[in-house]
Amino acid sequence: MAADSERPGVALKDRQAWVFDLDNTLYPAECDLFAQIDQRMTDFVARFLRLPREEARATQKRYYAEHGTTLNGLMSMHGMDPDEFLAHVHEIDLSPLPKTPDLADAIAALPGRKFVYTNGSRGHARRVTDYMGLGQVFDGSFAIEDSAFMPKPNQASYDAFIAQFEIDPSLAVFFEDLARNLAPAQAMGFATVLVQSDKDWSHEPASARPAGIGDDLPPHIDYVTRDLTQFIRSIVQ
């Protein structure tokens, strides 16, 4: 499927709930906040497991691929308390992020309710959306703490999200940069939108990396875009 394209038969204009992943979805992946988070995760794993840095990094990536997040892997395999991890890895410089008044206006113009749904922490979601000028356009935020630390694409996370906000997936749209996180969403009835970028993710585990331009996309992707603001504007025009 080409960028900024759609799969026939999935309409968006009558949907009444709009669900946005946070990192690399609401802001361009080229901002590379993940590089900061990634390095801080490696630092934490090395210290917590008392591993050499190279071994810690391999463990971090394996847990991400196998458990959905490095956090979930550390909790599952080592009984780690999550609070210190979340505070450490999200203590990052937000200055690469853009201010996004056009995106704020576009999201505000969508009919119905709007939500942030992230595998990051509540504090990280609040800091990022406030910094970008998006803090007032969302009706709610759902972070990793709200799903008992079960990350997307674990089904229990999606179930907790729709229960908390009383969302009917058949009347909702789900925006994500990770194709694997859209599979449960579409199976539940969400229309799915994959937000792509030109960033090179080849260093990430193949099963967990964002889809790149030109990649073959799975059938659970209904729409693809590289320009989130323009895509949203096209819905309400």
Mean pLDDT per block of 10 residues along the chain (237 residues) reads: 53 92 94 93 97 97 90 95 95 96 97 96 97 97 96 96 98 95 96 85 58 70 95 92
In this predicted structure, what is the pLDDT of residue 129?
Answer: 98
Euclidean distance between CA atoms 172 and 185, whole angstroms: 10
In this predicted structure, what is the pLDDT of residue 210?
Answer: 61
**23, amino acid identity:** D
For the chain, the domains span 5-28+96-236, 33-89
205 in Cβ contact with 55 (< 8 Å): no
DSSP state for residue 210 in the 8-state scheme: P
Tell whether omega for the bond before 153 is within 30 degrees of 0, i.e. cis.
yes
223 in Cβ contact with 192 (< 8 Å): yes
In this predicted structure, what is the pLDDT of residue 126?
Answer: 97
In this predicted structure, what is the pLDDT of residue 211?
Answer: 57
Instruction: Encode burial over 66-75: b for 16+ CB neighbours within 10 A, e otherwise.
Output: ebbbbbbbbb
In this predicted structure, what is the pLDDT of residue 233?
Answer: 96
Would you state the structure tokens that stand for residue 118, as one six-digit string? 């992230």
In this predicted structure, what is the pLDDT of residue 3?
Answer: 45
Euclidean distance between CA atoms 148 and 112, whole angstroms: 27
Euclidean distance between CA atoms 48 and 176, whole angstroms: 31
In this predicted structure, what is the pLDDT of residue 212?
Answer: 56
Residue 50: left if φ>0, alpha if ψ -120 to 50, beta else—which one?
left
Place of tokens 């749209």: 173
Q: What is the SS3 assignment for 197?
A: strand
* CATH number listed for the domain at residues 33-89: 1.10.150.450
3 in Cβ contact with 213 (< 8 Å): yes
In this predicted structure, what is the pLDDT of residue 217?
Answer: 78
Euclidean distance between CA atoms 226 and 224, whole angstroms: 7
pTM score: 0.89
- Superfamily, domain 5-28+96-236: HAD superfamily/HAD-like (3.40.50.1000)
Radius of gyration over every alpha carbon of the chain, rounded to an integer in angstroms: 17
Place of tokens 């895509």: 231
